[in-house]
Amino acid sequence: MTVPDGSDGRTMRERMDAGEMYLADDPELVEAYLRAQELTEAYNATGVRERERRTSLLRELLGAIGEDTAIRPPFHVDYGTQIRIGARCFANFGLVALDVAAITIGDDVQLGPNVQLLTPIHPLEAGPRRDKWEAAKPITIGDNVWLGGGVIVCPGVTIGADTVVGAGAVVTKDLPAGVLALGNPARVVRSLD
């Protein structure tokens, strides 16, 4: 990864949105992060019977959320605005969606407890990492995917429609549609009819 020299005049937000190296402690990004943390704190404090309040908070926090989608608290994001979730989805307790880059979730997706969707990338070189540079790659999850409990989806991964990923798997590479994947790293073990 190449650290930018700042000569092109773009903001850190523009760099982040383009998937390029940026500094997360930029004031504009810090403000967006704090806004998201306030909204997730309010969301996570809601009661089980406060469905309308939860829906309202998710609509304010996320880039988009489809009808009849439910996320059980606690729920954690970086910014929220880069997350788009389709209709009729369900996320069990403890979803972590670090949306430095876009996270797109299709319709009818099921996420088990403690699923992590991680878009950030940190440099391997000590200097840029010490200086707090980072980047990100988007995650895309197709329609009718089921991620079992504790699944981790790494930056830049696309999971095809109708795929099932077994509990505890770490998805480091794209998975095609209609397969069962297990393990660390996740490997396709068979097709699903």
Backbone angles phi, psi at 9, to 5 degrees: 80, 5
Q: Is 147 helix (H, G, I), strand (E, B) or coil?
A: strand
| R_g of the chain, CA atoms, integer Å | 17
Angle of helix 27-44 relative to helix 51-61, nearest 10 degrees, comes to 170
**122 labelled catalytic:** yes
CA nearest neighbour of 159 among 146, 118, 148, 62: 146
28 alpha-carbon distance from chain centroid: 20
CA nearest neighbour of 171 among 160, 163, 161, 182: 182
Q: Give me the catalytic one of 84, 122, 137, 187.
A: 122
Mind telling me the catalytic residues? 122
